[in-house]
Structure 1
Amino acid sequence: MSQVIYILEDEREMARIMRRALEGLGFKTQDFRLCSDFEKALEKNRPDLCLIDLSLPDGDGLSVVSDSLKQRGIPAIIVTGRGDATDKIVGLELGADDYIVKPFEPREMVARVRAVLRRGQAKSGVMQQAPSPKIAQFDGWSADFSSCTLTDPEGETENLSSAEAALLETFLSSSGRVLSRSKLLDIGSPDDLDPYDRSIDARISRLRRKLGDDPKSPKMIRTVYGSGYVFVAKVQWGDE
């Protein structure tokens, strides 16, 4: 069955270019000009991935990513003319899986779409095949990778994006080992493309914030200057 891509883009010509590039390779697409129409469609059907513009007539694409897609666990790629580094970092911090700046080469867009979908499929496949434990406990926290949720010591639960879950699972599986930036970038960035280098800093900053880990003096995810990052809390794995 063809994978479905939703496109939230108010420029008709840009939406047409994106739609043609994706449909030419077998994807099904549906495009929207308004956030309100996009939100109504999400209530009825779940797409495999969404391409989101930031500047929209009736809302902000960043809010769509953080409030709608992230909560549903739907992968999102921001596609926008805003090329400022701050915009990129904010988009990634709010849960986007990737960020493309206009103008772009349609083949690059398709490659990034495929890469994000592959990561999601690979994670899903491992979850279905492996009987290995998928719940980790550490310092009073609990991470359930079968549902991509994180529960704090007080019992409050919030969702993790696919990129956040993949990064946290890698840290927990490698507790006590220093992980290089290049290895961590391979986990959260599209294959065979030059990753936005500071994106890993943004993702780690987001994880630290969700874990209540003071960035000035982190107790769980520590920076090893010149080498990478290390998760230092003791981790216990289980099925429940």
Structure 2
Amino acid sequence: MTLPPTRPPHVTILDDEPEIRRMLSDALVEAGFRTTCFARATEFEAALKRTAPDVCLVDLGLPDRDGLALVHRLALESGAAIIIISGRAQVQDRVTGLELGADDYIIKPFDPAEVVARIRARLRKGRPETDRSPRTARFAGWTAEFDRYVLVAEDGTEVPFSHAEGEVLRLFLDAPKRLISRAQMQESLGGAAGDSFDRAMDVRISRLRTKLGEDPKNPRLIKTIYGAGYIFLGDVTWG
């Protein structure tokens, strides 16, 4: 039996400097990633309606949009990990970026190898700890294939999910029928604790519910326990 190829992680690069876009794209492609580059926020946001990247590299000094406002919107609406790349080196800028929902902050100038390493470190979160760990889970008529980042329905229909969405899904599937608090999610998934993290989790969970065909008013699998956290009610089989 031939296994389906693993889907390389997709990284979008938003920076108005052509040399930086080219440098980052070359380094990432050489490291095995897929990349798409944008010079303007309007082009980038239009593309997000058609695709779901795993990681977004975002420069704050954009010609057509406030970079921090864009980061905040991505944190609320996108399932991707967000890494800021900026020439703003002040501590307050970094703190603000992380508080608004960014997962990491890299200061210009930088070594492309550092960016690749930071992306790999981010993508390792939520993945199986060893190559022997199971990569496929079955539950409620669905099969989650974490190598390919797809949900497969009983009729064979495939629904892709982003790496960030997969982090949350695996957290639930690893602990079915157990309460997972916000604090536990923050500890497992990383990111700055606070309102931005909570809203980002709400968005990712909402997107997962939609992909699983859940009724948003009465979900049967991912239940919200108000004031406490979430619980996944399905039976899960790994292997």
TM class by smaller structure: 0.5 to 0.7
Task: Give the partner amino acid of 1:152.
Answer: A
Relative contact order (C-alpha < 8 Å, sep 6+): which is higher? 2
Which residue of 1 is the match for residue 8 of structure 2? none
Assess, with a 3 A threshold, how the Cα gap between structure 1 residues 51 and 100 changes in structure 2: closer, same or farther: farther
State the TM-score, normalized to the length of structure 2.
Answer: 0.65
Quick check: 1:97 aligned with 2:81? yes
Q: How many residues align?
A: 202
Pair 1:54–1:136, CA change in 2 (3 A): farther
Alignment of 1:30-179 (within 5 A): 30=22, 48=33, 55-56=40-41, 59-65=42-48, 67-68=50-51, 70=53, 74-80=54-60, 81=66, 83=68, 88-89=72-73, 92-98=76-82, 104-105=88-89, 108=94, 109-110=105-106, 116-121=119-124, 126=129, 129-179=130-180
Residue 9 of structure 1 pairs with residue 15 of structure 2: yes
Report the alpha carbon displacement of residue 76 of structure 1 after superposing the two structures with TM. Answer: 1.8
Aligned residues with identical type, % of pairs:
27
Deviation at 1:163, TM superposition (A): 1.1
Corresponding position of 1:185: 186
Pair 131,139 (structure 1): closer, same or farther in 2 beyond 3 Å: same
Q: Unaligned stretches of 5+ in structure 2?
A: 1-10, 61-65, 95-104, 108-114
Q: Is the 8 A contact 1:65 1:96 kept in 2?
A: no
CA RMSD of the aligned region, Å? 3.9
Structure 1 stretches lacking a partner, 5+ long? 20-28, 33-37
What corresponds to 2:111 in structure 1?
none
Please state how far the C-alpha of 1:215 moved relative to its aligned partner. 1.7
**Could you give the per-residue CA deviations for residues 143-169 of structure 1, whole angstroms, max 9, x where no partner exists?**
011222111233211222111111101
- Counterpart of 2:221 in structure 1 is 220
Q: What's the offset of the Cα at 1:188? A: 3.6
CA contact (8 A) 2:79 2:203 kept: no
Whether the 8 Å CA contact 2:178–2:231 is kept in 1: the answer is: yes
TM-score calculated relative to the size of structure 1: 0.65
What residue in structure 1 maps to residue 206 of structure 2? 205
Check conservation: 1:66, 1:94, Cα contact below 8 A. Answer: no
Structure 1 residue ranges (4+ consecutive) displaced by more than 6 angstroms after TM superposition: 44-47, 49-54
Contact 1:136-1:237 at 8 Å conserved across structures: yes
Distance 1:139 1:206 in 2: 17
One-letter code aligned to 1:151: V
